[in-house]
Structures are given as C-alpha cells and as structure tokens.
C-alpha cells in the first residue's frame, strides 16, 4: 500500500497519500472495474490490537455501515489482510471545511448552508442511535459541488454504549469543541454533546475564530464551563439568538437538533429537498399481512460477491478481533421465500411472548426477548436462496445467545439449510 500505482485486492489502483494519523493512512484510489475515485483508509491491525483499539475499530465499521446520508461520507466496503484493515470510502475531493475558515469568517449565507447540512446529518445520526463525539471543521469535508460531508466516526458511540444511568462516560473529543458536561466526567448525553459541538462550529464559521480560547487547557475548560460567549460586532441577531440556545452549559435546557431545524435563522433560504436517505420506519407485526409479496420482494437486499464472501467464517471481519464463541451474530441459509422466513420469525417471537416489530424497509424483524434485543435480516443471494443474519442489537449478550441457541434455533429447524 505504500507504493503509488500498486493494486489492492485486484480491485483498486492506489494513488497518492491524502493524510495520515497515529493508526491509519488514507490514500486516493481508483476502482479498476468502474473507474470511480475512492478513498482507502488503511489501518495497521497490529498497532490497533496492541493498544486495545479493536473495539473502537469495530464500532467505527458498524456505525459507518449503519449510516447512509448525502451529508455523511459513505463506507463502500471493508477488506482485510493479515496485517491491515481497509476501509473503502467515498472520495471527497474538496478537502476539509477547516481550510475554508482558516483564513477568516464565511459569508452568512455560506455558513448557514454548511450548518444546515451539518445539522441534518447529525440529526440523522441521532435518529439511528449514533453520536459522533468529535465534530469539528477538520472532520467535515466539502465536495466539488460545495456540499458538506461528515467524516471520521472513530470516536462515535452507539446507544448501547451507555451505562445503566443512560449516559456516556468516556471523555473524548477535541478540547475547544467539547461540551461542559463531557469535561465534568459525571456522564453525559452524547446527542446533547454533539449539539454543543455544532454550535461551536457555527460560531467559527460566522466569526472566523473559536468562541472559547486559551493556551492553558484548564483555563479553557473553565471558559467552556461558564459558556460566556462574546459575539463580534455585526453578528447576525438571528444567529446570535440561536447560538445562545445551543451553547447552553445546561444540557437539560440546551436546544435539540429538531428545535434547531425549526428556528427561523436556520430555515432561511432552506430548499426542501427529498434526501436520498435510507428511511426506516417501524410498524407492528399485524400490518405485515397488508403488504403484498410483490412489493416486499423488491425490497429484499441482494448481496454482491464481496458481501457473500464476507459471510463465510474465513472472511468475517469480526474474526480479526474476537473468538468464535464471543460473536454477537449468527447466520443460517434457507431455500424458503423471504416472506416465509419473515413470517416464521414473527410467529416464533409471538409464541415465545416476545415484543415483535417488523421493519417496513427491507426484510427485517426485531424481537425483544427479556434483557436482549435480537434483530433478524434476510438477504437474497439467488431466487429462493437466502442468508438470514441474527444479531444482538441491544441488551445483554449472554441472554441474546441463550435466546437464539436454546429457543430460536430449535424452532427454526424446518426452514434452515445450514447454520454458519
């Protein structure tokens, strides 16, 4: 990977180095089949394992696979060798938003456009249970059309990362952009902390400098804790009012992303566009019968060759970090129709007094079984040949394993070709 012009996995021609961090390097590359430009993030597996960052890397993969939004950098695929893990991602040619504000403030309408796109992306993340935790201009990219793209989910957290008090406790992020409650180390709501960071970014876009500055870190934290913002002259009144509600040191009274999007300053000049987002709504299982099989069939996800290969034990990325018995995911193949598989899962759940939710987007069934949440998704490999993935989407791991192995596996025997 170090050599320009080398070919990765017979799929990507590697180009110039775009940037690097402690554990990873990012290269420009070209898809040999399609000719499309991509960015390839190369992570040194030995270094990641040595410093105990395997869980963080797995979480970043999980989060990026979960998010599909026009203002979020898309993860195309993940590959691995004995020494490296490769993230193949959308290539954003315009560079960092930081470069646009490094020479001074932006015009109000330009700053507002970037802020609108940022808040829409963050609100989408939050709707999927993801908080970014390191929002700053360096992690915001701008494409050739001037659209913002949120990147770097290495410090992100999912809803199930919270402790029993419902809060996150890992202090992380960039000092100038972190919320007061993160510094306090008493636990914090990751969604509220993201909103604070968005406010700091908006201030930087409009003023050209940070709202809280000090070369001494402890003094900086004191200023953040007091949240005494001094606005420069000529600052737009609407933006000033909005920022006072965002940069509220009390997370309980701080404005939410939904409220931000309803504010008059935010909505000014906003063009309503239908976003190409993978919208996912939950409906009760009783509505399944009202959906025609033909319509559902079009939603069944077809796996590409790489995804099919990755389902095998030898190419499963989780095997890089954990033992087989520790996995929180099980799979089986079936020659039944997707509708039959889904209906069988629903019936099994109802018979065992689980709370069952059929997701309208795709072939997914979520089952809440006591202290565990099991999510099943059906993937089509060929007509009448499917792979079903059963994974823990929340709750206790031991209970998830017990439910799947002792309760669901025996009940599914009539539709299962083989477990993997």
* Choice among 36, 46, 123, 134 that is catalytic: 134
pLDDT band for position 156 (cuts 50, 70, 90): confident
Q: What is the pLDDT of residue 275?
A: 42
Q: Which residue has the higher pLDDT, 313 or 258?
A: 258
Q: Do the Cβ atoms of 68 and 74 come closer than 8 Å?
A: yes
Q: CATH 3.30.310.80 occupies which residues in the chain?
A: 282-419
Q: Is the pLDDT of residue 271 over 60?
A: no
Share of the chain above pLDDT 90, in %: 42
Residue set of the binding site for ATP:
50
Winning range, highest mean pLDDT, from 39-48, 279-288, 319-328: 39-48
Q: Give the integer Cα–Cα distance in Å for 39 and 28.
A: 5
Task: Give the class (CATH, top level) of 98-267.
Answer: mainly alpha
Give pLDDT, residue 303.
54
**Confidence label for 372 from pLDDT (cuts 50, 70 and 90):** confident
**pLDDT at position 322 over 60:** no
CB 138 within 8 Å of CB 98: yes
HEC per residue, 138-192: HHEEECCCCCEEECCCCCCEEHHHCCCCCCECCCCCCHHHCCHHHHHCCCECHHH
pLDDT at residue 313, as a whole number: 44
Q: Report the pLDDT value the prediction gives residue 290, as an integer from 0 to 100.
A: 36
Q: Closest by alpha carbon to 39, among 87, 7, 95?
A: 87
Q: How confident is the model at residue 164 (pLDDT cuts 50, 70, 90)?
A: low
Beta bridge partners of 96: 141
85-140 confidence digits (pLDDT tens): 999 999 999 888 988 888 889 999 999 999 999 999 999 999 988 999 899 999 99
**Which part of the chain is CATH 3.30.200.20?**
7-90
- Please determine, for residue 359, whether its predicted confidence score (pLDDT) is greater than 90: no
Does residue 282 surpass a pLDDT of 80? no
- Angle at which helices 237-246 and 190-207 cross, to 10°: 150
Predicted confidence (pLDDT) at residue 346 exceeds the cutoff of 50 = yes
Where do you find CATH 1.10.510.10 in the chain? 98-267
Has 134 been annotated as catalytic? yes
Higher pLDDT, 71 or 304: 71
Superfamily of domain 282-419: Kinase associated domain 1, KA1 (3.30.310.80)
CA distance 420 to 117: 41
Domain covering 7-90: architecture: 2-Layer Sandwich (3.30)
pLDDT computed for residue 335 by the predictor: 87
Q: Which residues are annotated as a binding site?
A: 50
| Residues 253-267 pLDDT 10s | 999 999 999 999 999
Average pLDDT value for residue range 200-216: 95
3-state class of 344 per DSSP? Answer: helix
Is there a contact between 380 and 301 (Cβ–Cβ < 8 Å)? Answer: yes
């Amino acid at each position: 990977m170090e050599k320009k012009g080398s070919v990765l996995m017979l799929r990507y021609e590697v180009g110039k180095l775009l940037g690097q961090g402690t554990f990873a390097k990012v290269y420009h590359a070209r898809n040999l089949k399609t000719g499309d430009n991509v960015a390839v993030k190369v992570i040194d597996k030995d270094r990641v394992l040595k410093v105990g960052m395997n869980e963080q890397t797995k979480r970043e993969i999980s989060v990026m696979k979960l998010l599909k939004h026009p203002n979020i950098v898309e993860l195309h695929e993940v590959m691995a060798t004995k020494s490296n893990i490769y993230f193949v991602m959308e290539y954003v040619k315009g560079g960092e938003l930081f470069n646009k504000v490094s020479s001074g403030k932006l015009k109000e309408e330009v700053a507002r456009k970037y802020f609108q796109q940022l808040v829409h992306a963050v609100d989408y993340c939050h709707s999927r249970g993801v908080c970014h935790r390191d929002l700053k201009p360096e992690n915001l990219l701008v494409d050739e059309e001037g659209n913002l793209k949120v990147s770097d989910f290495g410090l992100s957290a999912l809803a199930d990362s919270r402790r029993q008090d419902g809060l996150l406790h890992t202090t992380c992020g960039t000092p100038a952009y972190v919320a007061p409650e993160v510094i306090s180390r008493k636990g914090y709501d990751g969604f509220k902390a993201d909103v604070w960071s968005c406010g700091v970014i908006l201030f930087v876009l409009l003023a050209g400098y940070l709202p809280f500055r000090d070369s001494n870190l402890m003094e900086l934290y004191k200023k953040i804790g007091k949240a005494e913002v001094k606005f420069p002259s000529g600052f737009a009144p609407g933006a000033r009012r909005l920022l006072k509600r965002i940069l509220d040191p009390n997370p309980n009274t701080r404005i939410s992303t939904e409220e931000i999007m309803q504010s008059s300053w935010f909505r000014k000049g906003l063009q309503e566009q239908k976003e190409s987002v993978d919208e996912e709504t939950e409906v009760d299982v009783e509505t399944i019968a009202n959906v025609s099989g033909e319509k559902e069939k079009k939603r069944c996800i077809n796996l590409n060759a790489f995804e099919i290969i990755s389902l095998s034990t030898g190419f499963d990325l989780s095997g890089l970090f954990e033992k087989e018995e520790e996995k929180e995911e099980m799979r089986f193949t079936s020659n039944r129709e997707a509708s039959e598989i889904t209906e069988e899962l629903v019936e099994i759940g109802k018979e065992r007094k689980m709370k069952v939710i059929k997701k309208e987007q795709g072939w997914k069934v979520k089952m809440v079984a006591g202290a565990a949440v099991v999510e099943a998704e059906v993937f089509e490999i060929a007509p009448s040949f499917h792979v079903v993935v059963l994974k823990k989407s929340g709750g206790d791991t031991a209970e998830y394993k017990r439910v799947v192995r002792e309760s669901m596996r025996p009940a599914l025997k009539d539709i299962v070709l083989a477990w993997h």
